[in-house]
Structure 1
């Protein structure tokens, strides 16, 4: 028995995002613990007066490599996911990702040395790459226009919940003596992947993927289940079905499916917008705050349990500040949310850089507590201001770029290339995630507080870029979004500038309401595969 409730479908599917969240906080909460630092230590161990050990842990560049290895695997997984998804379907590709995650978690949990830990994290990353690329595609293809942003945005909310839950699990395990302090939380990461695999068994496949495979009766059955509340003659189901059929027929006449098509003149504009949406979401510096918040707050004078608890507050902020975006992102629109988010984040980043430069000073040689990346220190009221600005930065990201960076790219592309397009855009996310994960620890060592200024400049650039070139897609069906970029003949469309495109949320609500109130019943007759195949594709 398949589930037809949209919110239940999305809630199960976004466990794929939760995997990424589990990885982020399992690393951020563990890298500062004695068990981790001493087991993977590469420096000189210092015995303190109370008899405890102080281990510097991995070198800054090695720790960057350990953290970034997950993103490196995610980059490859995201690229591969396009082929997997197009061949076996959106749902099956996510299930494959959940199995791979369990394999990676076993290796990470059993790690005997740094190379084994890196291999396990690369495999974990491969899974995250598949799931993070295809979960938004799956949900966007099954959701109605007026709820698409909210439902796809649940991916980001699942990430924030994964971060929060795993941080407190890791925090609790930090009191365990020995290697179980990090092995136990790394092993528990398998639980959401197992739940994801089982839950997907009860979910329908994407109706648009089914249509692409000429499974028209199955396509209509899914639309009836999800949008028609069991009524195959629902006007809304009929309209959605006809739009999907028309788009499939159009796409069969125009172009073969390959990654090369994404860089052709009629596709390059939306490809660039989708890719940069994911790139900019990384260049905000948010994942730096997620992975290395222990370093940031240690430089602000926090230590011990106070450091861990204060770090966890930002994860709570991340969860609850994502909720307004989930509720109202469709009503707000994509452009205003991205623009205001960039403006807010650049403000807090410049403020932190200024505070660090004006009131901070270099840490002793070797870094605070012997950790190289903790190369700067600030105290007193300015340190509290740094912590406050960090919290405000996290809140701003959570209500803007966090959810919208997952919602926006799947809306930009036509059905025939959507799987590969989102694989490409998501791979760019992971490529920059890898670069930043590796770059930040050495950056804290070499340019100290200027790291904040660097990310502030990125936020300034993204504000300008979004204003000039990112069109509004809110409230439009996926087929209507196509009209922003192409005319009916498929020729490159040069028309309304991005800043003049409008949010169609209210029109979409009126249309759906009219469909629901329409008493007329439309008879349905599914076309045969032969009928659709009769439209010959161009040579």
Structure 2
């Protein structure tokens, strides 16, 4: 059984190079990751700030301050508090399907612009919030922005990038997510020290900065050749754009493949019906499995609730915020940058497998120490607490150079043009569904599972690592419009695709 067969690439037959035009365009588009990362980082820090809790979630504040017999693991258990974090993902889920239609019929650029504008509106509302309803509505607008950006930006990057560098360029999205998390955590650390109890407003309102950069910058973005061919009959315009982004006039081989993909795409009236056909089964399975697995790594436990988790360990508010900044920000960003350097050399499978092992070992170590040393009351010995923090660093690093960036890269590159937009919407929707579930249930799970929460997520990491080994083929350097070959040469998926082909041949014309 040839598990994870690597497919020979024809990307080398395409002419071209990385041009400054492509780099600049992709840098602007990647700021869609910046708004996503900023929100992930800012929400966790703000929800641990006492003035914020006192104003919007007084029952959590009172429970935290009272000297009661409430378990260390249960002090922050509040459905209202988790609703603040997770409401973004409900609106993002709905927005991603609207974004699919916009992206397919109007192009990638309008979706990116819409995402930036919605996020900008939400940040203004959150910064000025005077009551919980205003706060939640601002989160809903942020979710619309993230839904549009996450649906369109990974597609844009994959279509603009030359095949041999697609991994590195697309991982720029996750790098910007990491930079957003890093920036947010250091901003939280600074605003927490502001006297008067209004520092949280600055933290929430400063989301307007990356949103403004994305909104204005995306107005000047070019459309991808793939989108131009898909939406218009002006092949010359699409070819001119392809020549410009590849830096050469000789783009015939790649352009011919784009034309073929476009002809198939234009024959499809209902992509959502098409994607459930058996010949697209491998892509559909990956569109559901990869974002699901990305969320059940437990990464958002660290991203959303790191300061709260660190306070559970017995660290004070200031130390919790700076440790969150260092771990979720510095370690994550540095590891994501590493992934950009190696993804097109090592390949997707090796990185996912190695990252899975790294996360599994660290999760088990964290759970074991907390089970042995942190009870329901009191605090953990500082030596053990810092050992747990070290293991969390290793865990975050493992995610940030593997499942973090590749969880967005792989889905964006595996879909043929005719179902690419709806396929990416499914990816975003599944991601948001399970992000919402994790965000909404984590504080309650922490209360009931206690240290067992880390064994729970560690078990899922083991399952997803086995899934990658058995069912995910290598996609590095395979041209995006020739990606169907990886399924036809895979030991398992070729049976399903070949069965559909045989059935199609037998049907009367």
Q: TM-score range by the shorter chain?
A: 0.7 to 0.9
Q: 1:247 to 1:58 in 2, by over 3 A?
A: same
SS state of the match for residue 58, structure 2? Answer: coil
Q: Deviation digits for residues 401-437 of structure 1, max 9, x if unmatched? A: 1111111001111001101110111110011000000
Q: Please state how far the C-alpha of 1:201 moved relative to its aligned partner.
A: 2.6
CA distance in 2, matches of 1:129, 1:178: 34
Q: Does 1:456 align with 2:436?
A: no
Deviation of 1:380 after TM superposition, in Å, equals: 3.5
Which segment drifts farther, 186-195 or 300-309? Answer: 300-309
Deviates more, 1:218-227 or 1:70-79: 70-79
Runs ≥4 in structure 1, deviation > 6 angstroms?
A: 46-49
* C-alpha contact 1:274 1:412 (8 A) present in aligned 2: no
Find the counterpart in structure 2 of residue 219 from structure 1. Answer: 238
- Tell me the TM-score normalized by structure 2: 0.87
1:272-351 paired onto structure 2 within 5 Å = 272-314=285-327, 315-351=329-365
Match runs of 1:24-423 below 5 Å: 24-43=40-59, 45=62, 60-213=78-231, 214-227=233-246, 229=247, 231=248, 233-234=249-250, 237-252=251-266, 255-314=268-327, 315-363=329-377, 377-423=379-425
Give the CA deviation at 1:178.
3.4
Asked if structure 2 preserves the Cα contact closer than 8 Å seen for 1:38 and 1:57, the reply is no
Provide, for residues 454-497 of structure 1, a one-character-per-residue CA deviation record: whole Å limited to 9, x for no partner: 10011011011111111111110012212233xxxxxxx5x432
* Native 8 Å contact 1:107 1:117 kept in 2: yes
RMSD over aligned Cα atoms: 2.3
Q: 1: CA distance between counterparts of 2:266 and 2:43?
A: 46
Whole-Å Cα distance in 1 between the matches of residues 76 and 377 of structure 2? 19
Tell me, in whole angstroms, the C-alpha distance in 2 between the residues paired with 1:139 and 1:179: 41
Superposition deviation, residue 109 in structure 1: 1.4
Is residue 6 from structure 1 mapped to residue 19 from structure 2 by the alignment? no
Tell me by how many angstroms 1:172 deviates.
1.2
Whether the aligned pair in 1 keeps the contact of 2:335 and 2:401 (CA below 8 Å) is yes
Higher deviation after alignment, 410-419 or 103-112: 103-112
Are the counterparts in 1 of residues 311 and 317 from structure 2 also a CA contact under 8 Å?
A: no
Paired residues, number: 468
Question: What residue in structure 2 maps to residue 16 of structure 1?
Answer: 32
Q: Displacement of 1:223 after TM fit? A: 0.8
- For residues 72 and 48 of structure 1, the distance between their equivalents in structure 2, rounded to whole angstroms, comes to 31
Task: Determine helix, strand or coil for the equivalent of 1:267.
Answer: helix
Shift of 1:242: 1.1
* SS of match in other structure, 1:111: coil
Distance 2:145 2:180 in 1: 15
Task: Give the corresponding residue for 2:486.
Answer: 484
1:425 to 422, 427, 430: 427
The alignment partner of 1:266 has SS state of helix
Q: Given the superposition, is the C-alpha separation of residues 477 and 48 from structure 1 closer, same or farther in structure 2, using an over 3 Å criterion?
A: closer
TM-score (norm 1): 0.83
Q: Distance in 1 between matches of 2:342 and 2:116?
A: 30
Distance in 2, Cα, partners of 1:304 & 1:274: 39
Q: For residue 501 of structure 2, what is the aligned residue in structure 1?
A: none
**Is the Cα–Cα contact under 8 Å of residues 295 and 434 in structure 2 kept in the other structure?**
yes
Q: Is the 8 A contact 1:467 1:498 kept in 2?
A: no
Unaligned runs of at least 5 residues, structure 2 = 1-18, 67-73, 495-507
> Is this contact kept in 2: 1:471–1:498, CA < 8 A?
no
Question: Relative to 1, partners in 2 of residues 1:345 and 1:222: Cα closer, same or farther, differing over 3 Å?
Answer: same
Cα drift, residue 101 of structure 1: 0.9
RCO greater where, 1 or 2, for CA within 8 Å and sep 6 or more?
2
Per-residue Cα deviation, 1:2-53 (whole angstroms, up to 9, x for no partner): x95222111110111111111111111111112112111332749989xxxx
1:252 deviates by 4.3
The CA deviation string for residues 256-298 of structure 1, in whole angstroms up to 9 with x for no partner, is 3321211111112211112211111111011110111112212
Residue 100 of structure 1 and its aligned partner are, at CA, apart by: 0.9
Contact 2:265 2:419 in 1 (8 A): no
Q: Which runs of 5+ in 1 are unaligned?
A: 50-55, 365-376, 486-492, 501-537
Q: Aligned equivalents of 1:116 and 1:135: distance in 2?
A: 28
Q: Which has the larger radius of gyration?
A: 1
Contact 1:300 1:384 in 2 (8 A): no
The whole-number CA distance in structure 2 between the counterparts of 1:272 and 1:467 is 15
